[in-house]
Amino acid sequence: MQTKLRVLIVLLFSVVHLPVASAEPTASEFSRGVVQIESQIYPQGRTVERLGMKRSGSAIVIDSNGLLVTAGYLVTEAQTVMVTFSSGDKAEARVVANDHATGLALLRTSLPQGVVPVALGDSGSIGVDEDVVVLTYGGTERAHVATVADIRGFAGSWEYFLDRAFYTVPETRNFSGAALLNRDAGLIGVGSLLLSDIFAGVPRSSRSGNLFIPIEHLTARLGAMLSNASTTQNRPWIGVTLNESQPDITVVRVARGGPADRSGLQINDTLIALNNKRVATMSGFYEALWNAGEAGVAVELLIARDLEIRKLVLETISRDQWLYK
């Protein structure tokens, strides 16, 4: 039996408390590749208000030189990032890249002996209704079996869109940066969100679960992320949080000091068009914004406010320009 398959079986059996003593050392060693990270955010950080000054979650070791992948929001505007290994050893990590387009971040740290990197798997080969393993920091006892309930795109209210994401059940509360493993114990996803209804907008029964970012988004951009200290895509950003309620998109938050704020965009404004293109969904709005050009391009918004139609011109920036350095 292949080592990776034995590891996954051990992880699965650990969840249901079945004895597999002969293979347990292999699983224990394998689980050391998922570590805990604790970030201290700069007090001046723009994201402190919503995400806090202290953030913690998991990260996944993906090479023998101490490269880790995690959820980007855990280390956004981080002053320091500390890594804790299953052995209890601690080390400081530096942020190599924080890719706002994918929601993934790369860290680099020194590894103690006995840490085995988690191999990247093929996230494109997984299907709906397949069982997977969620592994967080804390060893095999923290592993549990989940099912891929759906695979589809995800539009986040904070100017974020994935064309393909994994939706898993049952929910796990320790989702941030967690590893999603396939039957070969390959890494196929990184934990991002807890959703109260993973079928929102889809005609199925509502159910809480988690969203995992498929590892294909990392493998497609890994080289660019490693060669750039901040972000790999200079997308235009305006600084809004949106709510989609057909047929309207409304503004529910404006980032203080961002392009939308400077232009006079307000909470409860309804977005109608961008550069004369009608927008009716968040994903449609993002597509129109990102297709307008690179960060710095001016865009024209048509909005509705107090039963009046208004035009606003915004000078876009990249998200990194707004974040605290």
Residues 4 and 276: their CA atoms lie apart, in Å, by 53
Q: How many residues belong to the chain?
A: 325
pLDDT at 10: 55
Residue indicated by tokens 């998200």: 319
pLDDT at 22: 40
Per the CB < 8 A criterion, the answer to whether 281 and 271 are in contact is no
pLDDT at 51: 97
Whose CA is closest to 312, among 266, 257, 247?
Answer: 266
In order along its 325 residues, the chain shows pLDDT tens digits of 345 545 555 555 455 443 333 444 356 677 899 999 999 999 999 999 999 999 999 999 999 999 999 999 999 999 999 999 999 999 999 999 999 999 999 999 999 998 989 999 999 999 999 999 999 998 777 888 999 999 999 999 999 999 999 999 999 999 999 999 998 889 999 999 999 999 876 666 678 999 999 999 999 999 989 987 455 568 999 999 999 987 889 999 999 999 999 999 999 999 999 999 999 999 999 999 999 999 999 999 999 999 999 999 999 999 999 999 8
Backbone angles phi, psi at 313, to 5 degrees: -110, 125
CA-CA-CA-CA torsion sign (181, 187, 189, 193): positive
CA dihedral of residues 273, 276, 281, 287 (deg, nearest 10): -130
Q: What share of the chain is helix, strand, coil (3-state, %, to 5)?
A: 20, 40, 40
Backbone angles phi, psi at 129, to 5 degrees: 75, 5
What DSSP letter does each residue of 232-261 carry, written as one string?
S----B--EEEEEETTEEEEEEE-TTSHHH
pLDDT at 18: 35
Domains of the chain and any CATH numbers: 3-116 (2.40.10.10), 123-214 (2.40.10.10), 240-322 (2.30.42.10)
Number of helices (H) and strands (E), helices first, in the chain?
8, 18
Residues 185 and 120: their CA atoms lie apart, in Å, by 9
Helix (H, G, I), strand (E, B) or coil at 161: strand
Residues 57 and 71: their CA atoms lie apart, in Å, by 9
Residues 274 and 312: their CA atoms lie apart, in Å, by 10
pLDDT at 199: 85
pLDDT at 70: 98
pTM of the model: 0.91
pLDDT at 7: 55
